[in-house]
């Protein structure tokens, strides 16, 4: 169906031509699904644009073959896209035009390629929206994008892509901007489309879990070159190329827990203006040896013996794997038995968790919607972003805070630091009440790291200025001592003194986030709120930052409130987990207790929606939630009742659920008896 | 939408009222007697007293304000001190002539600005885009009184094609005679504004063309012409509308200059005349009218913005 061979792509830049893709080959059979994985900068999205013929000016493309069915894509892309090739881009909020009704946007390809009259096309668009599982499709068609939730928007985008019944769908990070429960709904939809319509798919994703779930084959791209290709189960259970192995070793897994440190890939992407004729992963590869500088060819690899792969193989997956495996490494087979090296210094034994550091009681925050001159005349809707939350954090402890977007996680983090004024509730730091407008003493001891270092670092300040400021402000050091302290902080986050003079735009995302962490640590805080601090980072960088955070916890005894939507990351780093839904904590407890039954039904849904590697069969048993976090909830009673698959009856809507002790320090707020909740299957581990 | 309109109208009324207070205060609270100001420094005290009596300047301020304000509400701007005519009709005639100048200019600015902006954005980096950019910065940088002098020298003095000053009513001079007096003032007014608007449309259009929804529209296989017209343009025009409203303010300032140079009998020239001759009713009325025009232009922009932006028209999330 789709066949690409020897595709190379270069972008002209001021620094010379950037070789974004070099000799990429892949083929997808009719009805097949290929995953395309790799970190940012690997050229994934460029490949999608190249296939669509939508490369901008300054891009030069060459290929031995680029065929779609019987057509040459280079000549026919303009005719095929939208008609026989459908595309779903990342971030549905950006992919829909804010000024046009959703129905028209879905109908457009029908009018364009099928010659349908506007009325007929709109009628078909409504049908399509219904087929995508959207309730009240006529109303959705009549709405503007801003009136729909993220999941609804992505369904509308998929409906658009499918309008002309294409034979191939290009999916560019289709679920990246979505919550995990919504992501699971979209994956269900895509899986159904494959089954029912036999659509072929090219799924571009940095998330190996969803590739594993949807695809038969996977292509691993590193800095513009295919480094490994093959059947997905075999490849992920026993990766051959060192880069693939590094990716998997760096990935925190929800089903593995946080017993050991992650193993990040050192270094960063090579300079693509001067591509290395030899193996371009060589500078970062722990197995580099003489011979690696010679040009490598993507060659068929002997399937490794079961059981010899990384962290133990998946024999069942290997037996099923029949496709050809290809790898871009001359030593792949020879290295199959050698494990990915751990970091040189094994982590020091973790000191015991200390006494209570921060306590919050009954914290509440309401946000008023709208405003303006006549505010007094009309009653305004209110959102209870945080609704009576109490929690405690001990010294050297990591409290993970999970929940969908809009559940109030970030607001809670800011309330705890008194960065937002609370409407109610008290906060105590080591027993001493923290006033509504705390002095520098509290600010010094409680710091925050935000998700986006681009937004939190001042673009006009060098790293040195950014780090000196808190040192002087809090009187930690001055003069020469402050200079030494800056070096020490940079060393803490593993950046050399050369970084002192750099501006944010001169650093990569991972480096910037390390500077943000160093800045937060400058005042020697006891408490650090990490608000999605690793969410924007690539897997290998994320692993390095997570390791760093763990190391600092052990060495300095810092307590973390670790806010993340990524269950895998939280399961890896947290000691305790609090699960938030709509402003309230529905379950809280030690990490192993929260991740195992008994579950709050929301926790169960959240965990079972996490795509795990090599666990495709889980999808069938998943606990599915209707709607999303914005679906209106009952005014009284359980905040989750309206979406709860385990609802008991009117009691859920009328009475607030009692917090029940399910184990030591493990609290679940649900009307269902604990014995019943305990009968739920384990959401992460395979049923024995 | 109804609530949005009601809020905007309420704030418009408030702004106009506040302006009457401000204009009144500026004239009456400043040091020096009004009558003195009108009659000049050699006036006898008897003449001053007589004028104060005639103008009611001895009444308490709030009473004077109320007299003027209630007159305004009935469309009575008082009597011009220098022309012995009601100020209202004088202002209205001048406003009419300025409105012709302004309307032609703003329509030209909108059409040419948007068209040039779209051209630059769709041909970004080309020779024509670079030439336009250079011209745009040039015309933004040079003030209009410079062009006034230059075009008069060139077209009136040197070529003799067009009259340098004056005005011929449509009824007297016919279409050609009327238009001849408008060409030079309009041309000098619009040069800078077209450059300004087209720069803005260029950048907002470029932003729209870089957006994901335009990429998605192209991936749907839509022809480029539809991508531009249906997907990019409506979003690119939103900031342009706001800027056009601001430009109405700049235009009013420009009109005062241009009318003076070309001796065009409009509101701007009338205001200058009123100030020169201390004709207070004419001056105050003129200022209120100018404020009203600007406020109405902003209201029109707000409504237009709401029409193209569904987030305002349709309101909040579902």
Higher pLDDT, A448 or A131: A448
pLDDT at A687 over 60: no
Least confident of A224-228, A524-528, A627-631, A673-677: A627-631
Which domains are present in chain A?
Answer: 356-577 (3.40.50.300), 596-678 (no CATH)
Are residues B49 and B139 located together in one domain of the fold? no
Whether B157 and B305 share a structural domain: yes
- Residues in A closer than 8 angstroms to B314, CB to CB, are 143-144, 146-147
Q: Report the pLDDT averaged over residues A113-120.
A: 92
Distance, in angstroms, between B214 CA and closest chain A CA? Answer: 8
pLDDT 10s digits, A304-363: 544 444 444 444 333 334 468 888 888 888 887 777 776 655 566 777 888 899 999 999
Average pLDDT over residues A650-659: 87
Is pLDDT at B137 greater than 80 in this prediction? yes
Whether pTM exceeds 0.90: no
| Lowest mean pLDDT segment, chosen from A81-85, A169-173, A454-458 | A454-458
Indicate if B110 and B212 belong to the same structural domain: yes
Question: Percent helix, strand, coil in chain B (nearest 5)?
Answer: 80, 0, 20
Residue A627 pLDDT class (50, 70, 90 cuts): low
Q: Quick one: closest CA in A to B306, which residue?
A: A99
What is the nearest CA distance from B6 to chain A, expressed in angstroms?
A: 10
In a domain, B192, yes or no: yes
Same domain, B144 and B254: yes
Is B25 domain-assigned? Answer: yes
Last residue of a domain, one of B25, B45, B73: B73
Find the distance separating the first CA and the last CA of chain A, reported in whole Å: 40
User: Residue A258 — pLDDT band, cuts 50, 70, 90?
Assistant: low
CATH number of the domain where residue B249 is located: 1.10.3720.10
What does the pLDDT read at residue A537?
79
Residues 121-150 of B with CB under 8 A from A: 125
Q: Do residue B152 and residue B124 come from a single domain?
A: yes
Q: How many domains does chain B have?
A: 2
Whether residue B164 sits in one domain with residue B60: no
Rounded distance between C-alpha atoms, residue B191 and residue B204, angstroms: 20
Compute the distance between CA of residue B33 and CA of residue B27 in angstroms, rounded to an integer: 10
In a domain, B318, yes or no: no
- Is the confidence at residue A232, as pLDDT, over 70? yes
Tell me what pLDDT residue B307 has. 79
One domain for residues B146 and B265: yes
CB-nearest to B318 from A79, A95, A147 is: A147
> What tens digit of pLDDT does each residue of B262-297 get?
888 888 889 888 888 878 888 888 889 888 888 888
In whole angstroms, give the CA distance from residue A141 to residue B176: 53
The pLDDT of residue B25: 87
A52/B217 touch (CB, cutoff 8 Å), yes or no: no
Query: Is B34 among the domain residues?
Result: yes
B234 has a chain A CB within 8 A of its CB: yes
Tell me how far CA of residue A367 lies from CA of A382, A385, A585, B68, in angstroms. Answer: 6, 7, 18, 46
**What is the dihedral sign for C-alpha A467, A468, A469, A473?**
positive
Please say whether the beta carbons of A244 and A228 come within 8 A.
yes
Q: Which residues of A touch B205 (CB under 8 A)?
A: none
Partners of B6 on chain A (C-beta within 8 Å) are 374
Reply yes or no on whether the pLDDT at A52 is more than 80. yes
Q: What pLDDT, on a 0 to 100 scale, did the predictor assign at position A370?
A: 53
More confident residue, A352 or A28: A28
- Domain assignment present for residue B149? The answer is yes
Min Cα separation A140/chain B (Å) = 10
Least confident of A13-27, A341-355, B185-199: A341-355
Q: Are residues B252 and B139 in the same domain?
A: yes
Of residues B205 and B174, more confidently modeled: B205
Does A561 have pLDDT greater than 90? yes
Percent of chain A with pLDDT over 90: 31
User: Which of B73, B100, B128 delimits the end of a domain?
Assistant: B73
Over the stretch B60-103, which tens digit does the pLDDT of each residue have?
888 888 888 888 888 888 888 777 788 888 888 888 888 888 89
Q: Are A47 and A41 in contact (CB under 8 A)?
A: no
Q: How far is it, in rounded angstroms, from Cα A478 to Cα A471?
A: 7
For residue B228, give how far its alpha carbon lies from the nearest alpha carbon of chain A (Å): 12
Query: Which chain B residues are Cβ-neighbours of A96 within 8 angstroms?
Result: 213, 216
Residue B72 to chain A, least CA–CA distance (Å): 27
What is the predicted pLDDT for the residue at A630? 63
Q: What is the mean pLDDT of residues A371-387?
A: 59
Contact A372 B7 (CB under 8 A): yes
Distances (CA, A) of A641 to A386, A580, A646, A656, B209: 18, 14, 9, 10, 44
Q: Which residue does chain A place closest to B316, by CA atoms?
A: A147
Chain centroid, CA A454 distance in Å: 18
Q: Judge: A147–B316 Cβ closer than 8 Å, yes or no.
A: yes
Note whether B121 and B49 are same-domain residues.
no
Per the CB < 8 Å rule, is B316 touching A100?
A: no
Complex ipTM, two decimals?
A: 0.78
Find the range with the poorest average confidence among A51-55, A145-149, A445-449, B193-197: A145-149
Domain-ending residue, one of B22, B49, B73? B73
Do B138 and B170 sit in the same domain of this protein? yes
Q: Which residue has the higher pLDDT, A238 or B169?
A: A238
pLDDT band, very low/low/confident/very high, at A680 (cuts 50, 70, 90) = confident
Residue A278 is predicted with a pLDDT of 87
Q: What's the pLDDT at B255?
A: 87
Query: Using a CB-CB distance cutoff of 8 angstroms, which residues of chain B are in contact with residue A82?
Result: 219-222
B220·A144 Cβ contact <8 A: no
Residues of chain B contacting residue A108, judged by C-beta atoms under 8 Å apart: 217, 220, 222
Q: How far is B238 from chain A (nearest CA, A)?
A: 10
Residue B78, in any domain of the structure: no
Question: For residue B231, which residues of chain A lie inside 8 Å, CB to CB?
Answer: 97, 100
Statement to judge: residues B282 and B168 lie in one domain: yes
User: Is B81 inside a domain boundary?
Assistant: no
Provide the domain limits for residue B174. 88-313
The pLDDT assigned to A48 comes to 92
User: What ranges make up the beta strands (E) of A430-478?
Assistant: 432-433, 446-449
Interface of chain A against chain B, CB under 8 Å? Answer: 52, 54, 57, 78-83, 87, 89, 91, 94-101, 108-109, 112-113, 143-144, 146-149, 157, 160, 369-370, 372-374, 378, 630
Q: What is the mean pLDDT of residues A44-71?
A: 88
Collapsing DSSP to helix, strand or coil, A659 comes out as strand
Chain B residue nearest residue A157, CA to CA: B216
pLDDT score for A43: 87
Residues B245 and B112 in one domain: yes
Give the model's confidence band at A453: pLDDT under 50 very low, under 70 low, under 90 confident, else very high: confident
**Averaged pLDDT for residues A278-297:** 86
pLDDT digits (tens, 9 = 90+) for A182-203: 888 888 888 888 888 889 999 9
Residue A206's pLDDT band, with cuts at 50, 70 and 90, is: confident
A351 CB neighbour count, 10 Å cutoff: 12
Average pLDDT value for chain A: 85
When mean pLDDT is compared over A401-415, A633-647, B140-154, the highest value belongs to: A401-415
Residue B68, in any domain of the structure: yes
């Amino acid at each position: 169906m789709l066949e690409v061979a020897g595709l190379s792509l270069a972008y002209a830049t001021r620094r010379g031509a950037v070789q974004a893709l070099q000799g990429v080959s892949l083929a997808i059979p009719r009805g097949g699904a290929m995953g395309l994985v790799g970190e940012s900068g690997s050229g994934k999205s460029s490949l999608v644009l190249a296939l669509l013929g939508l490369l901008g000016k300054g891009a030069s493309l060459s290929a031995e073959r680029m065929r779609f069915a019987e057509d040459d894509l280079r000549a026919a892309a303009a005719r095929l896209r939208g008609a026989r090739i459908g595309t779903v881009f990342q971030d549905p909020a950006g992919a829909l035009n804010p000024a046009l009704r959703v129905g028209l946007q879905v109908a457009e390809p029908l009018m364009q390629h099928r010659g349908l009259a506007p009325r007929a096309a709109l009628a078909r668009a409504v049908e399509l929206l219904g087929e995508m599982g959207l309730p009240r499709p006529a109303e959705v068609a009549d709405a503007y994008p801003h009136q729909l939730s993220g999941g609804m928007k992505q369904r509308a985008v998929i409906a658009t892509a499918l309008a002309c019944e294409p034979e191939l769908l290009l999916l560019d990070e289709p679920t990246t901007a979505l919550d995990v429960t919504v992501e699971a709904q979209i994956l269900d939809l895509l899986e159904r489309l494959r089954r029912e319509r036999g659509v072929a798919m090219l799924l571009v994703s940095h998330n190996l879990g969803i590739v594993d779930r949807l695809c038969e084959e996977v292509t691993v791209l590193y800095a513009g070159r295919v480094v490994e290709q093959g059947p997905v189960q075999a490849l992920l259970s026993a990766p051959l190329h060192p880069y693939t192995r590094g990716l998997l070793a760096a990935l925190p897994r929800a089903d593995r827990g946080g017993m050991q440190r992650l193993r990040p890939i050192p270094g960063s992407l090579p300079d693509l203006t001067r591509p290395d004729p030899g193996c371009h992963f060589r500078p970062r590869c722990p197995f580099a040896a003489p011979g690696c500088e010679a040009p490598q060819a993507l060659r068929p690899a002997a399937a490794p013996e079961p059981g010899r792969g990384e962290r133990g193989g998946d024999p069942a997956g290997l037996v099923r794997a029949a496709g050809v495996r290809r790898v871009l490494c001359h030593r792949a087979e020879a290295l199959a038995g050698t494990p990915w090296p751990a970091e040189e210094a094994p982590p020091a034994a973790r000191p015991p968790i200390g006494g209570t550091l921060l306590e919050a009681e009954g914290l509440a925050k309401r946000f008023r919607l709208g405003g303006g001159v006549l505010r007094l005349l009309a009653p305004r809707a209110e959102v209870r972003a945080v609704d009576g939350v109490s929690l405690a954090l001990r010294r050297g402890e990591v409290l993970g805070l999970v929940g969908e977007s809009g559940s109030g996680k970030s607001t809670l983090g800011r309330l705890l630091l008194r960065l937002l004024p609370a409407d109610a509730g008290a906060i105590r730091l080591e027993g001493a009440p923290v006033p509504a407008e705390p002095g520098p003493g509290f600010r010094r001891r409680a710091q925050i790291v935000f998700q986006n270092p681009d937004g939190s670092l001042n673009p006009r300040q060098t790293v040195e200025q950014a780090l000196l400021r808190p040192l002087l402000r809090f009187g930690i050091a001055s003069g020469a001592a402050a200079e030494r302290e800056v070096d020490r902080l940079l060393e803490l986050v593993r950046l050399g003194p050369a970084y002192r003079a750099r501006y944010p735009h001169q650093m990569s995302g991972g480096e910037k986030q390390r500077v943000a962490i160093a800045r937060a640590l400058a005042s020697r805080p006891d408490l650090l709120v990490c608000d999605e601090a690793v969410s924007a980072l690539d897997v290998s960088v994320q692993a390095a930052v997570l390791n760093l955070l763990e190391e600092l916890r052990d060495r300095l005894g810092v307590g973390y409130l670790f806010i993340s939507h990524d269950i895998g990351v939280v399961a890896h780093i947290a000691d305790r987990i609090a699960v938030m839904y709509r402003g309230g904590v529905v379950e809280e407890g030690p990490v192993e207790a929260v991740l195992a039954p008994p579950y709050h039904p929301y926790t169960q849904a959240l965990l079972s929606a996490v795509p795990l590697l090599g666990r495709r069969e889980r999808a069938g048993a998943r606990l599915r939630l209707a709607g999303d976090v914005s679906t209106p909830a009952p005014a009284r009673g359980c905040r989750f009742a309206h979406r709860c698959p385990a609802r008991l009856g009117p009691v859920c809507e009328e009475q607030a659920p009692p917090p029940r002790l399910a184990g030591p320090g493990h609290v679940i707020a649900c009307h269902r008896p604990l014995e019943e909740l305990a009968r739920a299957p384990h959401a992460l581990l395979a049923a024995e | 939408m109804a609530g949005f309109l009601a809020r905007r109208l309420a704030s418009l009324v408030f702004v106009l009222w506040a302006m009457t207070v401000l204009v009144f205060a500026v004239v009456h609270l400043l040091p020096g007697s009004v009558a003195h100001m009108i009659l000049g420094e050699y006036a006898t005290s008897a003449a001053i007293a007589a004028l104060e009596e005639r103008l009611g300047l001895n009444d308490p301020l709030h009473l004077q304000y109320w007299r003027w304000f209630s007159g305004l509400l009935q469309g009575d701007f008082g009597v011009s001190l220098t022309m012995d005519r009601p100020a209202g009709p004088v202002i209205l005639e001048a406003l009419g002539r300025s409105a012709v100048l302004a309307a032609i200019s703003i329509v030209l600015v909108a059409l040419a600005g948007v068209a040039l902006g779209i051209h630059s954005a769709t041909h970004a980096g080309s020779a024509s885009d670079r030439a336009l950019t250079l011209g745009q910065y040039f015309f933004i940088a040079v003030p209009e009184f410079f062009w006034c002098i230059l075009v008069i020298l060139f077209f009136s003095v040197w070529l003799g094609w067009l009259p340098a000053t004056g005005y011929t009513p449509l009824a007297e001079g016919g279409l050609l005679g009327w238009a001849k007096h408008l060409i030079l003032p309009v041309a000098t007014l619009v040069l800078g504004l077209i450059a300004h608007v087209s720069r803005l449309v260029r950048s907002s259009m470029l932003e729209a063309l870089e957006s994901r929804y335009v990429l998605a529209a192209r991936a749907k296989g839509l022809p480029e012409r539809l991508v531009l017209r249906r997907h990019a343009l409506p979003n690119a025009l939103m900031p342009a509308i706001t800027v056009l409203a601001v430009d109405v303010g700049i235009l009013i300032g420009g009109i005062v200059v241009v009318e003076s140079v070309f001796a065009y009998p409009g509101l701007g020239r009338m205001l200058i005349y009123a100030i020169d001759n201390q004709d207070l009713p004419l001056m105050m009325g003129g200022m209120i009218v100018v404020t009203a025009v600007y406020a109405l232009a902003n209201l029109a922009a707000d409504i237009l913005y709401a029409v193209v932006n569904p987030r305002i028209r349709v309101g909040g999330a579902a």
